[in-house]
């Protein structure tokens, strides 16, 4: 939900100095594909590589110190996501990779006739891996988006749930529609039939403070490189569930060794340590905004300010698109109710989405077109014939001037694509 009172405005000048890439003469508006990286993160990665690059688990002092840094990283991530135990934090190369690892660990438990429910709105990372359970006899059902409202109707989920359902997988926020889904309510319905819920939060975590316990999910996964960090990811699972899963590690690793049994080859030490910089930054922003209390209170204060700022930027863009003839916004058309991310997708009547983006490329603006690996959604909405959607994905470090700059060049591109002007200026 949105903040109950407007938070203190972000000091954008100070915020932007935290991200060296923003000093370039370029507008980064493809943030859902990958955010810019904090100096704090890069400094920690460098520090680990240049001072602590030894094998863990040895008796000598450098190995012990390196191990302490990696454990500190796991504890930092646990605090960031509000995990009950840091052993619930499984880290790996990317959300897609972690999902395939999860499926490998679940596979031995699957029996013929078990049922899995997926949505057609998800990134393929939270679909393709689950389809592999069909090899063990599972039946897969799709909970499809309502093509008129572009929402996932809970009544449709109820029709699919049954005593044979073992897992439901869904996204917390669509990386195309921008819609925030009611995962906690879904979790209640899923648990009522004895099933479990897996939530992909890749498009959610950059914009709201994650709380895995409040989500109601049993598994929750997202990528740090969308949240101002390195190209790395985290999968959280309830401790009792993770203990039940098959080990993916060597035969001599005890099956109750969490999270190591699910991290074959171990974590990437330097990237794990770099992730501490994400929490450090969020706490620092919250403190600068006047927050008091524990680390999560300060991080929540930061995210409240991010949401308020991002809503204003997204509304600046959406207001333009709403008033532009021939443009169709794919997703909710307004912000402000807490149910929309600042990820804005649209199509232009009679135009291929590629043409719009190739135009803005010429002016140092990074936006994107395509299906964004949510191919099933794009096809269900018939948008594949346009080459997918144009997507503008905003982060808290973007500015009103950057959105105005984008709108200027979008306007020229859209007019040209619709042949209302003879040339693109």
On whether both 114 and 156 belong to a single domain, the answer is yes
Handedness of CA 323, 327, 328, 329 (dihedral sign): negative
Any domain includes 288: no
Any domain includes 422: no
On whether both 17 and 118 belong to a single domain, the answer is no
Structure-token pair, residue 33: 């594909």
Q: What is the pLDDT of residue 252?
A: 96
On whether both 375 and 311 belong to a single domain, the answer is yes
Among residues 278, 303, 327, the one where a domain terminates is 278
Q: What is the pLDDT of residue 90?
A: 98
Q: What is the pLDDT of residue 6?
A: 62
**Residue 139, beta-bridge partner list:** 115
The two beta strands, 365-366 and 27-28, are parallel
| C-alpha distances in Å from residue 140, one per residue of 15, 132, 137, 166 | 45, 10, 10, 10
On whether both 118 and 186 belong to a single domain, the answer is yes
| C-alpha distances in Å from residue 366, one per residue of 34, 138, 171, 356, 391 | 11, 42, 25, 12, 10
| CA angle at 233 for the pair 229 and 236, rounded to the nearest 5° | 125
The length of the chain in residues reads 425
CA dist., res. 148 & res. 181, Å (int): 16
* Domain, as residue range, for 398: 12-37+295-417
pLDDT in tens, 339-351: 999 999 999 999 9
CA dist., res. 98 & res. 107, Å (int): 14
Tell me the CATH number at 308: 3.90.1150.10
CB-CB contact of 127 with 133 (8 Å) = no
**Residue 236, beta-bridge partner list:** 89, 220
Q: Please state the domain count of the chain.
A: 2
Q: What is the pLDDT of residue 321?
A: 98
Q: What is the pTM of this model?
A: 0.96
Q: What is the pLDDT of residue 8?
A: 81
On whether both 269 and 384 belong to a single domain, the answer is no
Cα atoms found within 13 Å of the Cα of residue 386, Cβ hemisphere only: 27
Any domain includes 235: yes
On whether both 204 and 246 belong to a single domain, the answer is yes
Q: What is the pLDDT of residue 419?
A: 63
CA dist., res. 416 & res. 362, Å (int): 15
On whether both 20 and 62 belong to a single domain, the answer is no
On whether both 205 and 302 belong to a single domain, the answer is no
**Phi and psi for 231 in degrees, rounded to 5?**
-75, 85
* Location of structure tokens 């043409």: 355
295: part of which helix (H) or strand (E)?
A: helix 295-322
CA dist., res. 175 & res. 194, Å (int): 29
Structure-token pair, residue 275: 């992730």
Mean pLDDT by 10 residues, the chain (425 residues): 65 98 98 98 98 96 98 98 98 98 97 98 98 98 97 98 98 98 98 98 98 98 98 98 97 96 97 98 97 96 98 98 97 94 97 96 98 98 97 98 98 84 41
Tell me the CATH number at 60: 3.40.640.10
């Amino acid at each position: 939900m949105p903040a109950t009172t407007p938070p203190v405005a972000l000091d954008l000048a100070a915020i932007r100095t935290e991200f060296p890439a923003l000093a370039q003469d370029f507008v980064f508006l493809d943030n859902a594909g990958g955010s810019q990286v904090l100096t704090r993160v890069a400094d920690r990665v460098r520090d680990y590589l240049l001072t602590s690059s030894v094998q863990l688990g040895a008796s000598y002092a450098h190995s012990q110190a390196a191990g302490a840094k990696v454990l500190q990283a796991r504890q930092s991530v646990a605090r960031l996501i509000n995990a009950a135990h840091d052993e619930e934090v499984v880290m790996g190369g990317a959300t897609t990779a972690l999902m395939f690892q999860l499926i490998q660990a679940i596979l031995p438990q699957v029996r013929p006739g078990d049922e899995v429910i997926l949505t057609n709105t998800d990134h393929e990372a939270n679909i393709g891996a689950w389809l592999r359970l069909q090899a063990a006899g599972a039946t897969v059902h799709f909970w499809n988006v309502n093509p008129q409202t572009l929402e996932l109707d809970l009544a449709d989920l109820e029709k699919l749930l049954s005593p044979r359902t073992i897992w439901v997988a869904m996204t917390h926020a669509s990386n195309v529609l921008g819609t925030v889904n009611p995962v906690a309510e879904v979790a209640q319905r899923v648990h009522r039939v004895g099933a479990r819920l897996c939530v992909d939060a890749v498009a959610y975590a950059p914009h709201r403070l994650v709380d895995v316990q409040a989500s109601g999910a049993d598994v929750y996964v997202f990528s740090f490189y969308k949240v101002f960090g390195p190209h790395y990811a985290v999968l959280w699972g309830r401790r009792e569930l993770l203990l039940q899963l098959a080990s993916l590690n060597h035969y001599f690793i005890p099956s109750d060794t969490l999270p190591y049994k699910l991290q074959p080859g171990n974590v990437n030490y330097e990237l794990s340590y770099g992730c501490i910089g994400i929490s450090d930054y969020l706490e620092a922003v919250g403190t600068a905004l006047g927050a008091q209390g524990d680390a999560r209170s300060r991080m929540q204060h930061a995210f409240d300010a991010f949401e308020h700022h991002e809503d204003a930027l997204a509304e600046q863009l959406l207001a333009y698109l709403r008033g532009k003839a021939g443009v169709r916004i794919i997703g909710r058309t307004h912000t402000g109710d807490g149910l929309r991310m600042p990820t804005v997708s649209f199509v232009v009547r009679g135009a291929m989405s590629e043409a719009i983006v190739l135009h803005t490329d010429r002016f140092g603006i990074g936006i994107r077109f395509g299906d964004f690996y949510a191919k099933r959604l794009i096809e269900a909405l018939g948008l594949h014939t346009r080459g997918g959607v144009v997507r503008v994905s905003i982060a808290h470090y973007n500015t009103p001037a950057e959105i105005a700059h984008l709108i200027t060049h979008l306007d020229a591109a859209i007019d040209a694509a619709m042949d209302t002007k003879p040339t693109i200026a």
